[in-house]
Amino acid sequence: HKISLIGAPSDAGAGSRGSSMGPEALRVAGIEPALLNHGLDVEDRGNLSGPHNPWDESSGGYRHLDEVTAWCRVAHDAVYETLKRRRMPILMGGDHSLSMGSISAVARHCREYGKKLRVLWLDAHADFNTCDITPSGNLHGMPVAVLCGFGPAELIELGGVMPATPPSVYRLIGVRSVDPGEKHFVHKTDLDVFDMRYIDENGMHATMERALAGVDADTHLHVSFDADFIDPLIAPGVGTPVPGGPTYREAQLCMEMIADTGRLGSLDIMELNPAQDVRNQSAALAVDLLESLFGKSTLMRKRL
Ligand code: DIR
Ligand code: MN
Ligand code: MN
Ligand code: MN
């Protein structure tokens, strides 16, 4: 694997400030040496640049639409170009709205190379709001909907075609906070959701077997990791913590099973908020999980 780290220091899509410091928190937690230790070829491309967070009110159902759009454009271009160079992009957020940029680029790449796309959306939230149903106007609550074609023109057209992805490519894992209108829309769209109740009842192993079913040699697997996926008892450094998330071992198992597929093609590490963290422990945990995603903790098991 050849890996490119791309920092996207924006919190314009979030409801609180601080995730703009996420890329540096990951560097301080040793993301680059951790990957180098696994024998990976790593380049840190530094941070993208874009507009500051103006801290305006939401208007027309969106907060900071222009700023988020500008950031998503640069994220799209950086991820697309990285894939073209046959490197694996790791987007270091930044709030989760930036995944509209990365995933629209990944989808474009998959169209050009005839690859099937599967997106694992690891998150406490469904991120499936629209301007009509959002309680906040915050665009980090909307990226899955936008990528499926439900959102403002400037965002749904980011990756060249509309929609960037069909809803069928997504597997939402770890969900435990969904807004009322959002819940209805998730059901209506028939999104594949493995919520915490599902994980409680079936275990993380069966959950991941199902979420990864059908992943084969022609599949590009994209993981969009929202740090609030993890239980806030061990990952407090996020803007919107929700109790009752995966434990340390459940999260590790999730990463290990993804590693076993050998199909990981791109990754987002989003929503880390150092302003809420305790001694950078959440960024350190994210780096620890990242190592498992590259096969650190167990002997490799072949499932393909
Ligand atoms: C909430 C929060 N559902 C919203 N979403 C978050 O504002 O749309 N997503 N935090 O990660
Ligand atoms: Mn999210
Ligand atoms: Mn979330
Ligand atoms: Mn969030």
Residue 251: Cβ within 10 Å count: 25
Which DSSP state fits 300? Answer: -
- Out of 64, 109, 140, 222, the active site residue is 140
Q: In what order do the strands lie in the sheet with 88-93?
A: 41-47, 2-8, 88-93, 264-270, 219-226, 116-122, 170-175, 192-195
Sign of CA dihedral 59, 15, 22, 291: negative
pLDDT of residue 297: 78
DSSP codes joined into one string, 151-191: S-HHHHTTTSSSSSS-GGGEEEEEE-B--HHHHHHHHHHT-
As a whole number of angstroms, the distance between CA 98 and CA 11 comes to 9
pLDDT of residue 302: 59
Contact 73, 158 (CB under 8 A): yes
Which string of b and e fits 1-17 if b means at least 16 CB within 10 Å? eebbbbbbbbbbbbbee
Rounded to 5 degrees, what are φ and ψ at 241?
Answer: -70, 140
pTM of the model: 0.97
| Cα dihedral value 216, 220, 125, 9, nearest 10 | 160
| Cα dihedral value 303, 256, 194, 267, nearest 10 | -100
Residue numbers of the chain with a pLDDT score lower than 50:
304
As a whole number of angstroms, the distance between CA 10 and CA 19 comes to 7
Told to judge if 96 belongs to the known catalytic residues of this protein, a careful annotator would answer: yes
Pocket of ligand 1 (CB under 6 A): 15, 96, 123, 125, 127, 129, 134-136, 138, 140-141, 179, 226, 240
Told to judge if 127 belongs to the known catalytic residues of this protein, a careful annotator would answer: yes
As a whole number of angstroms, the distance between CA 238 and CA 60 comes to 27
Atom of ligand 1 nearest to the CA of 129: 8
Q: Express each pLDDT in 247-277 by its tens digit.
A: 999 999 999 999 999 999 999 999 999 999 9
Told to judge if 125 belongs to the known catalytic residues of this protein, a careful annotator would answer: yes
Which DSSP state fits 20? Answer: G
The ipTM assigned to this model is 0.92
Q: What six digits make up the tokens of 202?
A: 């079936």
End-to-end CA distance of the chain: 18
